[in-house]
Structure 1
Amino acid sequence: MAALRQLKAWSGRSFRDLARLARDRGRNLPASTLGSALTRPTLPSMDIVVAIAEACELPPEEVAEWVRLRRQLAQLEVEAETAAARATPAKADLVTPYLLPSGPTSFVGRRAELSRAGHILTAEGRSARTVLITGPAGVGKTTLAVRLAQLAVEHFADGQLFADLRGPHPQSGVSWHVLGVFLRTLGVSSHSVPAALEDRINLYRSLLAQRSVLIVLDNAAAGRDVQELIVSGPRTATVVTSRSVLPGLDGFRVPLRLLSEAEALEMVKCMIGEDRVSREQPSAFQIVNRCARLPLAVWIAGARLAARPDMPLSALARALADEHRKLDELTVGDVAVRASIELTYAALSRQQQEAMCHLAQINTVDFAPWALAALMDSSPADATKLLDDLVELHLLLVHYTDNAAPRYQMHDLVATFARDKAAQILRPVQTERARLRMLGGALGLACAAGIRINTDFDEVPFAAPPWSFSAHTRDAVLDDPLAWFKDEYGFLKTLAEDMLSSVPLPAAGLIVALAPFMQLSGYFDDWLHLHTCAMGAVASGPIGAGLRRNLGELSTIVDDYPAAERHYRAAIAMLDPADEARLASTSAGLAYLCRLQSRYAEAEELFGRAIDLADAAGNDNCLIYATTGLGVTLMEQGRRDEATTVFEESLRRSEAIGYLPGQAQAWRCLGQISRLRGDYVAAERNYRNAERISLSLGDQLTATHARCWLGDVLVKQGRAVEGRRVLAESLWIYRAAANRWGEAAALHCLAEAQLSAGRPDLAKRRAQVAVAIWTEVHSPYWLASAKTTLSRAQERLKPV
């Protein structure tokens, strides 16, 4: 102690200066703690010794010498106690211990936890009563444990023992030291405390075997230490708190959640008064939410406000809005959120600390193991092990999707802490490379998933992602590609948007790769927003052409035909003439658009070109899509036999390669041929086949294209009620998807159904809307059909 005081005097620094310098080095030790440590006769903790040595700016080798000296002195203390214990046999004149610390003056929430845990502690006839309270740093584990013990104290007439297992202990171990304290508290003289751990355990358990004692073990880190301190007597009970889940420990578990908004606000009211909160209620809500409803953070905020009655709540709310200052603001006296999280972080392995720093780069609500694997250049299996370790230490939360896939999440204040640590530990180039790996991994997985869900889109036009998983890993991750897209969509969308400005090519490539899933899921607003943003960053080249091609597809779906044609022609102009595969798919999209507008000569020419290009490129999906499109062009011109041959060829090719979208489209078109020929039984069978396949792909909109015409043929078979119900459902889906062409088709079929039911007035109203829509979107073939239906309805309304 004298040497440390001399070192402090030599440095010429005040305790406040030393505390500030220690905080700059990541050690949050208030000036009061440092000052009191240098005035006590006992050996200071290792943290304090290192903090003072570093703050005095000693070179690393001298700091290491102070560490060695402190360990040596600690060992001498242990040896002295051991020698004394060996000289004197154990003897105890038992006393009643009352070691519980004082609890908080106000206690908010946790009623259910208190009730359940209290019942366990006080239940009669249980041989081992252990309550394990777990949760992240600052969630209120110690407060709940002390409150629980205070409420149960009358059931334990022989006293209460309490120990903080996180405190500074000699190298001989936590339980050895705590057992010494407990034995002396129970009346065993210092000279009679056994030296060996096993002897201490046996004496401790023998003394408490028939006594009614409540034991509270706070901040347990290892299950073994706890097991050595638990007594199995019928009248004892133990409460354990830990940041780890301690999987090997038996007992009633009480996992603590964050406070609700109402509970957090109630805590602030108890500390500063309800009137003050009511006057600035919006600011009070901001404070508790910027504290992420973590009890320790809310308590610190309340304590700061209580210490400064004139401080506006809005001032603290503004200070907490600054992510760079938030953890520094959440400090009062010797209590700090940063220091609380730091204790957990310091106990992590180097790899776990690195994982925490890398996870701070993720800006989404949750993430999957593959994201950390990419950040750390490891495998998903290794990443999952790291993530589960961090979950056990309550640094991460985990939940499971409907597909039983794990999603991990970092608490807001832990994420803020991790970002600060990342800035200290990771060099900017390390962070940049890690994020690029994550983007590359996402791009590779999204491309592979898009191909596997069998849509009409090309593989993303990007030659080499900046980093990618092995084929084996991709197969494992993408076991169910559609489910993977559903789980990852929010993560992928945010990642692409975040990185578009810094690395535009791969980020825009990821946006292109998301189009198949956005089409299947009907995320048309996102489709437009993301592609428009990406075009601002990448306006040419293969990715620019891919963006334009996808926007052409989207504009066609939402019936904006002029915009669709501009996008398709711009994409064709950007592509290299030798890029046959992408020229084929873009030409097929433009051909489809021309067919919708009854520009049949152009459509035939473009579909023919797309078929030749796709065949040369070996792009079977596009070949089938273009072939079916050519068949529809022939059908709409009345060339039904030629069209039937083309559709049957498309179906054969699709079944041969397992291309489900092609099969669905071919069955739907064969249904149209049967319908036009009046073979409604065959038409129903074909439409149902098309609907079934599209639904298996998760493509509700394409399934509705078949279901709409299914409703029409049901009506034509005399099943009017069933048919009208199917048509009404189709109309609802089309309107929800903003698909104007489909809306007109459903209304047209409903008009025909009303005519069949003898209700020409209703038929007229529906036909009029169909005519208006097909006029608006310029679809001559179907406009002519709707006009015919409208004319028939008007004819029937004429007086006889």
Structure 2
Amino acid sequence: MAYQRVNFAVLGSVQVFLEGAPIHLRGKPRAVLATLLLNANTVISRDGLVAALWDEPPTTAVANIQTHVWQLRRAIPGGDQIVRTEGSGYLLRAEPDQLDALIFSDVAREGRLAVQRGELTVAERAFGRAVALWRGRPAEDLVLGEVLTPRIAELEEELYQARSDWIDVRLALGQHDQLIGELRKIADAHPLRERLWGQLMLALHRAGRRGEALDAYRRVRTVLVEELGVEPGEDLRRLHANLLADQPSAPSAPAPATAQHEPAEPDTTTTWHHICQLPADLADFVGRSAELTTITTVLRGRDPAVSAPVIVALSGAPGLGKSTLAIHLAHLLRPAFPDGQLYVRLGAASPAPRDPWRILGELLRALGVDGNAIPDTLEERATLYRSRLADREILIILDDAAEEAQVSPLLPGTARGAVLVTSRAQLALPGAQAILLDVPDDDDAVELLERVAGQARVRAEPTAAASILRACGRLPLAIRIAGARLSARPAWPLSDLAARLEDTRRRLDELALGQQTVRANFAVSYDALTDVARRMFRLLGLCGLESVPEWAAAALLGESREVTDRALETLVVAGLVNGPEACAAGGLRYRLHDLLRAFAREQAEAEESEARRRAILLGLVRESLDRVAAAVTDLPLPCAPTPGAGESRPTAGRGDSEWLMEERGNMVAVVELAAALDRPALACELAYHLTAYLRIHGFFDQATRIHDAVIAAATRLEHTPSILTTRLMRADLMVERGMFGDALPEFASLLELFERRGDRHSAAYALSGLGICRHMSADFEEALDRTTEAVDRFEELGDHGGLLSTLIHLTSIHLELGHHDQAAEVCHRGLELARGCRTAYPRAILLRALGITHYSKGEVPEAIRRYEESLELSRRHGYPIITTMTERRLGEALGAVGRFDEAVRTLTRCQRSFARFGDMYGESLTAYALGEVAFRRRRSPEALRHLTHALDVLGVKEMQHWRARVLREIGRVHADLGDPDAAAAAWNEALAIFHSFDSAEAAEVSAFLDTLRQMPAG
């Protein structure tokens, strides 16, 4: 296939072009695209997308995001390559010439380089091309969450800078006359931008309009004084003075105000005696502004009424830069502690942490105590130390502390001193302010890499730089090592290092430079652990889960909950594990940094035999299977026979959807783990139970992911039963997603395979699925035959779950064929069968179907009653998709009995819900129902608007039978509006579709057309 060029535009309305032709996107998929375009070539987490799309996200937001991304990929040729899944987020990959925002940045950069070379004409053209790319505010045609406001403001600031640079160039080229009008307009729109006013003043003066130039200065000064209470900046004042002297200089932008993170330097004329033991500060220190502010506030905000010293305990995992932060902060705070700064490295990261007795001896000598006067005992030394520090404003840095007992003797006794302790462990020091350090944010991580490796190199390869930072997990130590390796090899492309770091097995090998390695830094803490804590750490890395709940940790360790808890607590105290975090469904969970997880896995592979590792992981898989099987007891199982592995233990009691919601990501990973362990039958059984939850809650991407993993493993090992069962589940998922064209040949193929193997049970499910697909393609007689055959076979096999599911489908087919009595009979039969069912799901659907039956027979009040019974069940048991589908039917019925306001409220709520689910079919049917209600109220223009929207959402290829019905109603509305030509066009198109299906509804449309032809002209 020839390569097709896709281009994007976000500087204004959001646009997509395929070889120059527009691709039209609607709704949330378009908002997802806008968010990704605004952050092109950068990974956006699912949470970030949720925040961008909704200020108040629905509970199904993550599932909706997955659906919207799927729709986006389907709409754009090559969408799977353009919009990629990266970990738990998404990345839109755009080439520099593929997106207007990237083109703008590149062309503006060309302009600035041309200025540096003195090529002003070239610069003028470049800046002009860059500014011309802007058609309005970024993504101006969409309502996006406030989380994107900073990014949009950043782009607009880049536009302002480029436009200002362009104006400077044009002024230098003598274009002052042409610029005056443009500058007045921009300055009025941005009255606080002093650089713009300076350019306007210069242009006016050069045009011989000196009085207007001076008036412009008076205007900007008035605005600044009244709005901000400040005088114009030095540059503007100097230009004004030159204008008064009739000697204007070239304009220059006022220097930007920068945040003052550091306290003012001390007055060097003041003499004060102090001791300073601080190591040198890092010249390339970046970020940590929040921590700097917090710790500075605590250490400088000593309360005179409090007699105890101020203590801050800074803790965190190895490699986070705790020591660097403490030293940098101590240098900043020197003026606040004029008596001095003591610094002691306590050596927790060494094989033998330092003895406080020896440390006190060193400190006392530093404080002027003669060596002969230093006492022998620890207690006496601590007493003398406190007396020397009494009432002195001194800051003490105790770096890399091992435990509380090592720190306590080194604390001062009076309030004027302050102490900053760093430790990998979370120390419990009385009265201390505990601060837990985490990895820096994305911007700080990028800046750190730029400082070490070189800003130009990093900015020249932003995608590779992002990949390096992702591999480093934003750990400062790892970033510094990666940056130092790049710095040592100036010609080495960042993409080469990024490619090396992609290999997780070799990542720690690459993050090493001389004696400085991430691995060695981690090993110090690991070696200091107890045996059981070391083993717990190894196994946490072995399982590969991003977050590990208590029950999973216990399953891995194979010990009691008490032993497991103590081991986890030891790891938390050592700074090797983050947590604990409270689980919404109860219990606690723990997390490892990505690099620590890689290190832990290395230790597991080195210290645990392969057979032992396999047994441990299979134990986790089986424990997960038991828990998932127990959690889905209230949910309908997938439309496939239960897999025959039989490894899950039977359970009793109610299901636990809340637990599954929280552990969903882990359970998907465990299915993939079982597949990787070459246990396809076990993986298939776990996937079967997990699919029950994923399917009903709309997590279709994850369901597809586990099905693909099982099929790949089963194919590799030629385990045919697992392949066929999983294909059956996957085909059923296609039906749930409305992919009937894809599902039909898959069900047909599976039916042939099952019949050939003599597997009548699985064949019954394939028959049922085939019936659904025939139904949705309007082949109702074939659908009836297949579904009836499936019903008979499920009865013969005694499979009540399969029978109930198929009876629900049979009801729908009878309704399409106008067999209202048969449909009602099937509903009652199903409801009787559902009495003994473990889940309320089929009863909720059958009550809804019974309501549809009554509605079709004109028994609307009884239909409303049945819908309300169905809603009570689906709301109580948490079936959001079924709830919305039933509310749509209820809104339709309310409109039919003249309860129009209730109907509109109900249907409007449904339309929003379907949009959140990413269910375009449901959204279209709801718009159709709203059109019906509006037509009943004699509001034809409103009805036409809703019906046209229904047609747009439905599209031109899918669900042709429903498309014809919408066209039929559109024709009726046009006829009511007195537009016979439009009515005839809609009805003729509907008639052609109905005839293609040999539908009885063609006769009704033919009658409409006959009536239209008999109407008098005009």
User: What TM-score, normalized by structure 2, do the two folds share?
Assistant: 0.60
Distance in 1, Cα, partners of 2:546 & 2:932: 49
Task: State the 1:668 CA deviation.
Answer: 0.8
How do 1:131-530 residues align onto structure 2 when only pairs under 5 Å count?
A: 131-166=312-347, 174-271=355-452, 273-278=454-459, 283-307=464-488, 313=494, 316-378=497-559, 382-383=563-564, 385-398=566-579, 406-455=588-637, 457=639, 460-465=642-647, 481-500=656-675, 502-528=678-704, 530=706
User: Which of 770, 773, 778 is the matching residue for 2:961?
Assistant: 773
Distance 1:507 1:786 in 2: 47
| Offset at residue 120 of structure 1 (A) | 1.9
| CA displacement at 1:511 relative to structure 2 | 2.5
Task: State the Cα deviation string for residues 165-220 of structure 1 (Å, max 9, x = none).
Answer: 22699999733332233233334444543333333333332332333332211111
Deviation at 1:506, TM superposition (A): 1.7
Between the aligned partners of 1:107 and 1:173, the Cα distance in structure 2 is: 28
Paired position in structure 2 for 1:534: 710
Residue 12 of structure 1 is matched in structure 2 by none
Task: Give the counterpart letter for 1:689 in structure 2.
Answer: E
Shift of 1:520: 0.9
Structure 2 match to 1:549: 728
What SS does structure 1 have at the residue aligned with 2:542? coil
Alpha-carbon spacing, 1:658–1:335, altered in 2? closer, same or farther (3 Å): closer
Q: Distance in 1 between matches of 2:417 and 2:588?
A: 39
Distance 1:728 1:211, change over 3 A: closer
Tell me how far apart the structure 1 counterparts of residues 350 and 610 of structure 2 sit (CA, whole Å).
Answer: 38
Preserved contact between residue 633 and residue 839 of structure 2 (Cα < 8 Å): no
Q: In the alignment, which residue of structure 1 is the partner of 2:277?
A: 99
**In 2 relative to 1, CA 100–453 (structure 1 residues): closer, same or farther, beyond 3 Å?**
same
Report the equivalent of 2:31: none
The 3-state SS of whatever aligns with 2:276 is coil
Corresponding position of 1:694:
874
Shift of 1:137: 0.9
Q: Structure 2: which amino acid aligns with 1:492?
A: M
Instruction: Give the letter for the 1:296 counterpart.
Output: L
Residue 643 of structure 2 aligns to a residue whose secondary structure is coil
**Given the superposition, is the C-alpha separation of residues 545 and 318 from structure 1 closer, same or farther in structure 2, using an over 3 Å criterion?**
closer
Q: Deviations over 1:247-284 (max 9, x none)?
A: 45432233222223332333344445544545555554
Whole-Å Cα distance in 2 between the matches of residues 271 and 349 of structure 1?
Answer: 37
Query: What displacement does 1:108 show?
Result: 1.2
CA distance in 2, matches of 1:503, 1:780: 51
Partner of 2:863: 683
Aligned twin of 2:787? 603
Match of 1:451, SS state, is coil
Structure 2: give runs of 5+ residues left out of the alignment: 1-272, 966-992
Question: Which residue identity is paired with 2:881?
Answer: L
For residues 205-248 of structure 1, what are the alpha-carbon distances to aligned partners after superposition, in whole Å with 9 as ceiling and x for unaligned? 23323333322111112123222322230211111001111245
Q: Which residue number corresponds to residue 118 of structure 1? A: 296
Question: Residues of 2 paired with 1:590 and 1:288: CA distance?
Answer: 49
Shift of 1:113: 1.8
Given that 1:552 and 1:567 are in contact with CA atoms closer than 8 Å, whether structure 2 keeps it comes out as no
Identity of aligned residues (%): 28
Question: Which deviates more from structure 2 when the two are superposed, residues 704-713 or residues 719-728?
Answer: 719-728
Task: Assess if the C-alpha contact under 8 Å between 2:995 and 2:1002 holds in 1.
Answer: no
Q: Call closer, same or farther: CA 1:669–1:788 in 2, change over 3 Å.
A: farther
How far apart are residue 749 of structure 1 and its match? 4.2
| Aligned-partner Cα distance in 1 for 2:774–2:491 | 72
The separation in 2 between residues aligned to 1:591 and 1:265, in whole angstroms, is: 56
Quick check: 1:544–1:574 contact (8 Å CA) kept in 2? no
* Counterpart position of 1:18: none
Distance 1:137 1:736, change over 3 A: closer
Residue aligning to 1:667: 847
- In structure 2, the CA distance between the partners of 1:336 and 1:168, relative to structure 1 (3 Å rule), is closer
SS at match of 1:448: helix
Q: Distance between the aligned counterparts of 1:671 and 1:413, measured in 2?
A: 57
| Aligned residue in 1 for 2:12 | none
**Contact 1:771/1:787 (<8 A) preserved:** no
1:709 aligns with 2:889: yes
What do residues 748-788 of structure 1 show as CA deviations (whole Å, max 9, x unaligned)?
Answer: 64564454344499498769989823599999999957657
1:566 to 748, 756, 764: 748
- How far apart are the structure 2 equivalents of 1:492 and 1:779? 46
Quick one: distance in 1 between partners of 2:428 and 2:574?
Answer: 11
Distance 2:507 2:959 in 1: 61
Q: Which whole-Å deviations, capped at 9, do the CAs of 1:642-682 have from their partners, x for residues lacking one? A: 65465345445545555311220232123123323433223
CA distance in 1, matches of 2:611, 2:596: 23
Instruction: Assess if the C-alpha contact under 8 Å between 1:355 and 1:372 holds in 2.
Output: yes
| 1:562 alignment partner, SS class | helix
In structure 2, relative to structure 1, the CA distance for the partners of 1:776 and 1:232 (3 Å cut) is: farther
Residues of 1 paired with 2:746 and 2:495: CA distance? 51
Change (3 A) 1:775 1:384: farther
User: Structure 1 residues 183, 736: closer, same or farther in 2, change over 3 A?
Assistant: closer
Q: Deviations over 1:291-328 (max 9, x none)?
A: 33222222233444445556555554455444444434
Judge conservation of contact 1:259–1:293 (CA < 8 Å) in 2: yes
Note if contact 1:213-1:236 (Cα within 8 Å) is conserved in structure 2. Answer: yes
CA distance in 2, matches of 1:311, 1:738: 45
Greater mean alpha carbon deviation, residues 521-530 or residues 350-359: 521-530
- Taking the aligned partners of 2:450 and 2:947, their CA distance within structure 1 comes to 65
In structure 1, stretches of 5+ residues that fail to align are: 1-94
For the 8 Å contact 1:129–1:236, the answer to whether it is kept is yes
Question: Given the superposition, is the C-alpha separation of residues 241 and 564 from structure 1 closer, same or farther in structure 2, using an over 3 Å criterion?
Answer: same
Root mean square deviation, CA, Å? 4.2
Answer yes or no: is the 8 Å Cα contact 1:544–1:571 preserved in 2. no
Query: Does the 8 Å CA contact 1:212/1:235 hold for their aligned counterparts?
Result: yes
Structure 1 residue 118: deviation in Å? Answer: 1.8
Q: How many residues align?
A: 693
Matched, 1:756 2:936: yes
